[in-house]
A and B are shown apart, each in its own frame.
Chain A
Amino acid sequence: MSAMRNVVVSRIQSLAPGIKEFTFVAPPGEELSRFSAGSHIVIHSVLKGKPHHNPYSLLGSPDDPHWRIAVRRQEVSRGGTAYMHEELKEGDTLRVSEPINLFPLVRLGRKYILVAGGIGVTPILSHAREMSRLKMDFEVHYAVRSAEFLVLSDELRALAPGRFYTYFDSEQERPDFKQLFGNQPLGTHIYVCGPSGMIDACLNAGRAAGWPESHLHSEKFLAAEHGEEFTVVAAQSNVTITVASDTSLLDALEEAGLNPPCLCRGGACGQCEAEVVSCDSEFEHRDIFLTDAEKSSRKKIMPCVSRVKGGTLILNI
């Protein structure tokens, strides 16, 4: 479902130990689209022969001709961040998705509280930029391990003068969510991004203070569209195909010259429904067409978005 494009790395800059900022521009003759606050892109990379798909929030201004992201190298690296830190050079071309937003701004709020932990500051910065542009009432709370990890704080402080608060783990400081949410006007929204423990603490404090779920926002990325490699046998046509980890089952069937019916290619219309003869592994149903009972029956699959976790899938097609 996501549209893909190429970008060129125009600048790589170290922000803090283990954190780098990357700036992307469009290839010559093309233009990058604008994006909305809270958007991310998914970067496709290949490291040691293994494909990786990692989402990163866009932190720059949508009015700039370039896109900016910041990446923290993960200690137990999912290959993607190691690739970004060690392999990628200025001038390289990358395959990325168009911007996707699953952490969007609700424009009808009365006030906004932005909470960032560590590298989770990236979408918070884009929200602060948007709120400042739209002259909304907002404040920013930013927690990091120690002062040297307080990246991008100059931009934040400039956007939220007098309403920018920092917290250092090294000084035993952390935001007091209970107090923070206790005394806000009706119609206030919380946006939080950071380590999962912090997100949970923040959202739970909001719930405890009686805030409706629709006013509590935490960053979400697009669910993986890809997965493990597996084998599919089209029983009627007697064809055996390998479905690579970054190819959908439907694409693989089409590439093999089969023409299964399909329409939406997004798991909604029901056209591509295929009957399962057998499967020796787990299903990953990602459609919104089959009922839960059908999904657990192991008898049906929607090849446009769903797949299996390795092994062999035999379809009656």
Chain B
Amino acid sequence: MSIPFRQETFRDDFTYRNSAEAVRRFPFPFPQDAYMYSVNIEPHVSVDPGSVYEHTFDIDEHYIAECEDRAITLGKTKNRFLALPHMMDAQWDTLELLMTSMARDYPDLFALSRDGAKWHWMNKPLNIDQHFVFGDTRTLPYAPLEYISRQGQGDFILLDQREGNLWVDAGVVTTQADWSLAFDVGMSFNEWHGPVPMAAEIGVFDRALKFLLMLQHGAPVRRLNWTMTINPRLDTSPEHYDQWGPDRASVTPENVGAKVHLRVEVQTLFRLPRSNGVLFGVRCYLASLNDLVTNPAWGQRLHRVLRDLPQPLAEYKGLVRYRQTAVDWLKQFDQSHS
């Protein structure tokens, strides 16, 4: 299989587009007409060849452009890679997991050969050919987590487990939905999820935490999360709200289909073998409303979900400014409903 990688941008002129195939495999996140928080965690096993769930880390047509966008963000802004010193083993664990998975799942794109601690990594799409010594940071141009994250799609956050909790102690975060690694590093799982309205009351995070503390090596899990973003912008960090926040006021009935994007995160969680840490992968998929309504069932359902979304959730997800415009526009795709 060879993937036709696109040349595109996630900023300035926003040339990001989905092919018909990318829309077909988009992880549409709503199993019902109404949305509510739940412990929607399931085993991260390979299903549906061709889907985003086929491989441990999905690589798609946006791979090269996303890696380029991450390099820009890492170069221009501070604190997008952070790691507390006790997370070094977890960093190497992550590098190993990504390299072995990518080489196994996409043998025509990536290759890894290992002779004891002497490793040879080849990344054909990015033209990387790297010899290094596993465990020796001096043999890589970046820290292990930053090195491999620069070659992966989505954010990678490392959690340390202690005192019956998980702590956000390292990460590379450049494709986030309005949260800040610099602000959250060192926080516990509960503090990190503290601000989500309506979820704490129904015990979602307590149960999710208990479940994740028991997460076992070899049995990763995944869940979906979603929000919306104006323009296909990967980096919507709170530190740069001044750059993307005003976009929300730019939505009109004429441009809503092209500007408003559903932003779906396929979140994966892996127990890391050597460090006993947890890798939290947050892979972001973007599709415009125009993309989504090419599937009639999605257009209808998205109309109902957005229309009926409880106000506190709409506020938390930052949709309030343009929700009504989007609902009004989507209504034409929900004719069976008055």
- Chain A residues within 8 Å of B, Cβ to Cβ: 1-3, 5, 33-36, 38-39, 62, 97-101, 104-108, 214, 263-270, 288-289
Contacts and interface: CB of A to CB of B under 8 A. Distances in A.
B276 interface: yes
B163 A214 contact: yes
A3 B219 contact: yes
Given A35-B274, A36-B276, A263 B40 contact: yes
Contacts of A39: 276
Chain A interface mostly helix, strand, loop or mixed?
loop
21 contacts: A1-B216, A3-B218, A34-B273, A34-B274, A36-B273, A98-B216, A98-B218, A99-B273, A107-B160, A214-B162, A263-B40, A263-B41, A263-B42, A264-B42, A266-B211, A267-B211, A268-B211, A269-B40, A270-B39, A288-B210, A289-B39
Interface string B176-209: 0000000000000000000000000000000110
Contacts of B41: 263-264, 266, 268-269
Given A34-B274, A62-B274, A108-B86, A264 B219 contact: no
Nearest to A262: B42
A24 B276 CA distance: 21
Given A2-B219, A288-B207, A104 B214 contact: no
B51 to A, nearest CB: 17
Interface string B72-99: 0000000000000010000001000000
Contacts of A107: 86, 160, 162
Q: Chain B contact residues (Cβ within 8 angstroms of A): what range?
A: 20 to 34
Given A36-B276, A105-B276, A288-B207, A264 B217 contact: no
B217 A99 contact: yes
A2 B85 CA distance: 30
Given A3-B219, A288-B211, A265 B38 contact: no
A264 B211 contact: yes
Contact of B219 (A1, A105, A108): A1
A269 B38 contact: yes
A33 B217 contact: yes
A99 B276 CA distance: 10
B290 interface: no
Contact of A35 (B42, B43, B163, B217): B217
Contact of A108 (B40, B162, B217, B218): B162
B115 to A, nearest CB: 13
Contacts of B274: 34-36, 62
B278 to A, nearest CB: 11
B221 interface: yes
**8 pairs of A and B residues whose beta carbons are closest in the complex:** A3-B218, A268-B211, A98-B218, A36-B276, A107-B86, A269-B39, A34-B274, A3-B219
A7 B140 CA distance: 34
Contacts of A34: 93, 273-274
Contacts of B56: none
A5 B207 contact: no
A266 B273 contact: no
Contacts of B86: 107-108
A5 B218 contact: yes
B276 A98 contact: no
A252 B253 CA distance: 53
A106 B217 CA distance: 18
Contacts of B42: 263-265, 269
Given A35-B273, A106-B162, A2 B216 contact: yes
B38 A98 contact: no
Contacts of B217: 3, 33, 35, 98-100
B207 A100 contact: no
B9 interface: no
B123 interface: no
Contacts of A99: 217, 273
B207 A289 contact: yes
A103 B140 CA distance: 32
B101 interface: no
A85 to B, nearest CB: 28
Contacts of B227: none
B18 interface: no
Nearest to B212: A268
B276 A264 contact: no
- Listed residue (A3, A107, A263) with the most chain B CB atoms within 10 angstroms of its CB: A107
Nearest to B162: A106
B218 A101 contact: no
Contacts of B207: 268-269, 288-289
B275 interface: yes
B161 interface: yes
A217 B216 CA distance: 20
Contacts of A1: 214, 216, 219
